[in-house]
Structure 1
Amino acid sequence: MYDKTYDMDKRKLLSALSHGSIFFSLLGISIGIPIAILFVSDDPVVKDNAKEALNFHLNVWLYGIIFGVLTLILIGFLLLGILQIVNVVVPILAILHCLSNTEQPYRYPFIFRLL
């Protein structure tokens, strides 16, 4: 499916950086990392991983807004806790996948893919 002529170490690094950028979300620059990687890299696997990371960012923000509104009704506290757990665990799984399987991009489960 993908050409194998790309540098595997660079592929691992950029793919892991795309998915790991979610951990910088408090800095407000987290979404800029996969966007920059998307435009700078010409590796199709890295581009797919960057798009998937962008989709994950957008989904986390959307769910955060929805659960934040639900917090006003006292239902969202549990949902916000679950979202924070997902926000940490799933990107770690994505990074591990990118480091061990360089031939295909990681696909986050249960997200809307806008890109």
Structure 2
Amino acid sequence: MDAAFDSDKRRVLSALSHGSIFLSQLLFSAGLPAALWIISDDPVVKENSKEALNFHLNIWVYSFIIGILCWLLIGWLFVIPLLIFQWVMPIFAILHSFSTPDSAFKYLFILRFL
């Protein structure tokens, strides 16, 4: 990408946007990548923030669907895989942000709303 942007700042802000999912599933945790997406001038940080925000939205949609399926007594089969997905994928994203700061991480198995 562009070498004019600070690599350390890019790493930290990208990792922070992906790691915000660990704060909670509330709006506050999605507010951090949304704010970074709006405020940052760095194109990689913007892309990582947008991807993290899409991940938040997908987790909310998946949780809602699984919650409805729990009423039908089949949703319990998907709770543990969703929790594993919710914890493992951001860890991969954070590691990717630190190892290759010049490219954005793309989550697998999500719909891109933004």
TM-score greater than 0.5 by the shorter chain: yes
How far apart, in 1, do the equivalents of 2:75 and 2:64 lie? 10
Q: Using the TM superposition, give the Cα deviation of residue 28 of structure 1 relative to its aligned residue in structure 2, in angstroms.
A: 3.9
Q: CA RMSD in A?
A: 1.0
How far apart, in 2, do the equivalents of 1:33 and 1:71 lie? 30
Q: Which residue of 2 aligns with 1:80?
A: 79
Tell me, which stretches of 5 or more residues in structure 1 are unaligned? none
Q: Which one-letter code corresponds to 1:15 in the other structure?
A: S
Equivalent residue runs for 1:36-115 within 5 Å:
36-115=35-114
Tell me, which stretches of 5 or more residues in structure 2 are unaligned? none
Q: Which one-letter code corresponds to 1:95 in the other structure?
A: I
The alignment partner of 1:31 has SS state of: helix
Aligned length: 114
How far apart, in 1, do the equivalents of 2:93 and 2:11 lie? 11
Q: Which residue of 1 aligns with 2:18?
A: 19
Q: Which one-letter code corresponds to 1:70 in the other structure?
A: L
Q: Using the TM superposition, give the Cα deviation of residue 27 of structure 1 relative to its aligned residue in structure 2, in angstroms.
A: 5.2
How far apart, in 1, do the equivalents of 2:58 and 2:11 lie? 24
Identity of aligned residues (%): 54
Q: Which one-letter code corresponds to 1:88 in the other structure?
A: W
How far apart, in 1, do the equivalents of 2:110 and 2:27 lie? 21
Q: Using the TM superposition, give the Cα deviation of residue 67 of structure 1 relative to its aligned residue in structure 2, in angstroms.
A: 0.5
Residues 28, 114 of structure 1: alpha-carbon distance in 2 compared, 3 angstrom cutoff: closer
Q: Which runs of 4+ in 1 moved over 4 A?
A: none
Q: Which residue of 2 aligns with 1:4?
A: 3
TM-score w.r.t. length of structure 1: 0.95
Q: Which one-letter code corresponds to 1:41 in the other structure?
A: S
Partners of 2:25 and 2:60 within 8 A in 1: no
Residues 13, 113 of structure 1: alpha-carbon distance in 2 compared, 3 angstrom cutoff: same
